[in-house]
Chains A and B, each alone.
Chain A
Amino acid sequence: MAQKKVDVLIIGSGHTGGMAAKILTEKGISCTMLDAGPMLNFEKYREMKPVHELPYRGFDAPGRLPHVFQASEFNANQWVDEKVVPYYHPPEQPYNWVRVRSVGGRSPFWARQSFRLSDYEFKCKDHDGFGENWPISLKDLAPYYSRVEKIFRVTGHSDGLPQYPDGDFIEDNSPWSGAMQRFVDAGKKLGVPVTKPRSSLGKDGLASSLNLLLPDAVATGKLTTIPNAIVRQITVDKNTGRADGVIFIDRHSHREMVLKARVVVLAAGALESTRLLLLSNICNSSGVLGRYLSDQIYGAGIICSVPEARDGKAPPHLMGGGALIPRFRNLDTKANGFIRGYAVNVSCSNGPFDARALPFYGKELEQKLQSYNGSGFSTNIMGEALGHYEDHVTLNKEVVDAWGIPTLNIHTNYTSNETNMAKDYVDTMAAMAEAAGFEILVKNYEFNPPGYSIHEQGTARMSDDPKKGVVTRWNQCHDIKNLFVVDASVFVSAGWQNPTITMCTLSMRASEYLAEEMRKGNV
């Protein structure tokens, strides 16, 4: 077949690539989208199975996915195997890089918590002097947030808190359960707001690129989707200095293919996008490409029991439900030992109690489990981790992946800021739980390694200053005007929020800008 030059080439088909495809094709622009993995066949690849029929009784094959704490024998096949695409971290700097390679990226598997960033995040440096402000504010993104929230069908309660901006929600006016109300009241006394969770309902059980974004692009007749295409380089025209396409490798046959494009949109996920820029040796005149990697701390928490719910005596409506505590530290006052803040997921369960929380065994444990059944109350942290210059990735040319492509070295470390934040969080939650009359069984100050949250951000951050950032406020590379990066690699700071809705919002905004620039003939 004769090679043709495509209008816009999108690399990656997850939430941000999918959003770019939707917006651009709806503007009448032809797009070709590549994904490194296969198309998912939900009928063929998934089935309901009892755990006792699995070869490893639910444990999964020993040593198979050491960095994916989320893996179980049920879902092990959905994650990237690090023997196929390895990465390196120094032993003393663990990093859990949790990846998916299939059309739709990680979007079929996210937890769907849906938040706007506030100006406490966008203008973070103004508040505490650390890092850089984003070149944009909530006001710039608000109209796009609204549109994204409608696509994803975000449900939540409007609370009127500046650090927790309201959006276009399917309003959640459900009442608190009795135990949750006690926790809410305990929070009020300590100045800790306890609010309703916000999450994407999506449709048909998914809130993914596959069902919310790509079908709209397909409907325009202007989207060409190519699975199993592993891009190893973005090519640049030596005469113009502009990106002119990519070289990709067919995942199965390893055949190399050249694809020419007028514009390239990079949406491969924070670290994969940066890896590709490094492989292509482009977009690093600032020297910050690969720098300021950040995410959020997860894993610290408390586990409690609501005494009145034990022994099957829970009155109606005592148990059940969840809550979200938005950031409340370092807003108007200054916390001791850390900057920025954390949010908290709260869960009140009327299901089985986690045996790990009870230090008993044998028949005694069975009796306890029976007694504690339906009385569980737990919290989990989502804390902003700081992205330092030293938190960075580099290319590892010594170790290549299954397609011969150099891999990443990841160097990142949490600091006392995160440790102190986690301590404040556990102590505050414990104080609230105690005030609410709960029995505290576990206080865990330890958090998971960087990467665990699957919220990796930064390494190609945005800035108005080409010396400080890789892309502009419109996600356009400073060095190459027809190359856009639309995923979370452009984030300037992590915030405590799940980044997905902001990623989609930025991709929508950048894509509309790109379409307009193309119409004007500027790109």
Chain B
Amino acid sequence: MGQQSAPQAQNPPPAANAADQGTMAVQPSAASSPRALSRVEQMARFRTPNIPLSQPDAVAMTETRYFTAVRYATLVHLCEIMMPASEDHPSAIKSGTPEFLDFYIGASPIEQQSMYNNGLDRLNSDCMKQFNVPFAKAETKQADAVIRPHLKGWMNDHPPREGHARFLNLVHHDIRTATINSPAWAIAAEASGDRTPGVGLYWNPIEPGIKTWVDHGIAQATPTTKHKHS
């Protein structure tokens, strides 16, 4: 701006792009230029602007790709049966729970995947045996006949041990959790005047830089060959 640089400022001009910020970081003398230092200090004072953000669920659907078509249809119907809409809150299906569980179980350890796959198959085969209809097309009473005998009361960390009872009680819990914790449920809760449900104290990653080292290997200095010392 017509201002002359101070005679002692022989350093590069103040950073004008992100790459130069890096230069200053690795070349401390660069930041000793008063103009460069002033620019860094100005940037440090910058505060995050308030830009309202939305969650992807507000505009997009989860793509389903894990369960087979038959298993997914079974899961969708199970969601509808176990958690239909109430006066104030959306159903599991409206909350995107089947799609979420398809994603979540698809990314889970194999034991969890097996439990779901076997459980959904068993529901379907029980329904075929008893009523000759697939579970996805079962009427309320038919579905009840293959679900209710397996439901048990249980406490935290200790669902029933027997395979199918374990699946049905856990999938029920998963459907409820995925639905109650969904964005759709939160919108409905707010609309009906409820407090925002499920607010908790969240811990952000603590110094996550360590992940870089873990993922990319350990920095190790290789000893040089022994020198002869006088």
* Contact surface of A with B, Cβ cutoff 8 Å: 37-38, 40, 44-54, 56-59, 61-63, 66, 69, 72-78, 83-84, 102, 228, 251-255, 299, 301, 303, 354-363, 366, 378, 402-404, 441-442, 444, 446, 448
Establish whether residues A59 and B203, one from each chain, have CB atoms under 8 Å apart when the complex forms.
no
Residue of A nearest to B56 (CB): A55
Residue of B174, B182, B200 with most partner-chain A CB within 10 A: B200
Establish whether residues A45 and B203, one from each chain, have CB atoms under 8 Å apart when the complex forms.
yes
Establish whether residues A361 and B206, one from each chain, have CB atoms under 8 Å apart when the complex forms.
no
Q: Which chain B positions have C-beta within 8 A of A75?
A: 201, 203
> When the two chains form the complex, which single residue of A38, A69, A74, A84 contacts B202, counting CB atoms closer than 8 Å?
A74
Bound: A83/B211 CA distance, A: 10
Q: Which chain A positions have C-beta within 8 A of B174?
A: 59
Residue of B nearest to A40 (CB): B206
Residue of B nearest to A56 (CB): B104
* B173 at the binding interface (Cβ < 8 Å): yes
Establish whether residues B158 and A299, one from each chain, have CB atoms under 8 Å apart when the complex forms.
yes
Bound: A47/B199 CA distance, A: 10
Establish whether residues B186 and A46, one from each chain, have CB atoms under 8 Å apart when the complex forms.
no
Establish whether residues A361 and B204, one from each chain, have CB atoms under 8 Å apart when the complex forms.
no
Q: Which chain B positions have C-beta within 8 A of A252?
A: 207, 209-210, 213
* B162 at the binding interface (Cβ < 8 Å): no
**8 cross-chain CB contacts under 8 A:** A38-B207, A40-B206, A47-B202, A48-B202, A74-B203, A356-B169, A360-B151, A403-B218
Establish whether residues B209 and A62, one from each chain, have CB atoms under 8 Å apart when the complex forms.
no
* B120 at the binding interface (Cβ < 8 Å): no
Q: Which chain A positions have C-beta within 8 A of B185?
A: 52
Residue of A nearest to B178 (CB): A57
Q: Which chain A positions have C-beta within 8 A of B100?
A: 57
Establish whether residues B155 and A444, one from each chain, have CB atoms under 8 Å apart when the complex forms.
yes
With A53-B183, A299-B158 known, 15 other A-B pairs at CB within 8 A are A45-B203, A46-B203, A47-B201, A57-B178, A66-B109, A69-B157, A72-B200, A77-B206, A251-B210, A254-B218, A255-B219, A354-B156, A361-B172, A404-B218, A404-B220
Establish whether residues A448 and B199, one from each chain, have CB atoms under 8 Å apart when the complex forms.
no
The number of residues on chain B lying at the interface, defined by a beta carbon within 8 Å of a beta carbon of chain A, is: 55
Residue of B nearest to A44 (CB): B204
B 187-217 contacts with A by CB, 8 A: 196-207, 209-210, 213-214
Q: Which chain A positions have C-beta within 8 A of B86?
A: 363, 366
Q: Which chain B positions have C-beta within 8 A of A402?
A: 210, 213-214, 218
Q: Knowing A52-B55, A362-B81, A404-B218 touch, does A74 contact B178 (C-beta < 8 A)?
A: no
Residue of B109, B152, B206 with most partner-chain A CB within 10 A: B206
Residue of B nearest to A83 (CB): B214
Q: Which chain A positions have C-beta within 8 A of B154?
A: 356-357, 442, 444
Bound: A404/B153 CA distance, A: 46
Q: How far is the CB of B207 from chain A (nearest CB, A)?
A: 4
Q: Which chain B positions have C-beta within 8 A of A360?
A: 151
Establish whether residues A51 and B204, one from each chain, have CB atoms under 8 Å apart when the complex forms.
no
Q: How far is the CB of A219 from chain B (nearest CB, A)?
A: 26
Establish whether residues B151 and A78, one from each chain, have CB atoms under 8 Å apart when the complex forms.
no
Q: Knowing A48-B199, A59-B177, A254-B213 touch, does A77 contact B205 (C-beta < 8 A)?
A: yes
B 124-167 contacts with A by CB, 8 A: 147, 151-159, 161
Establish whether residues B218 and A63, one from each chain, have CB atoms under 8 Å apart when the complex forms.
no
Q: Which chain B positions have C-beta within 8 A of A359?
A: 151-153
Bound: A57/B153 CA distance, A: 24
* B83 at the binding interface (Cβ < 8 Å): yes
Q: How far is the CB of B104 from chain A (nearest CB, A)?
A: 6
* B115 at the binding interface (Cβ < 8 Å): no
Establish whether residues B207 and A51, one from each chain, have CB atoms under 8 Å apart when the complex forms.
no
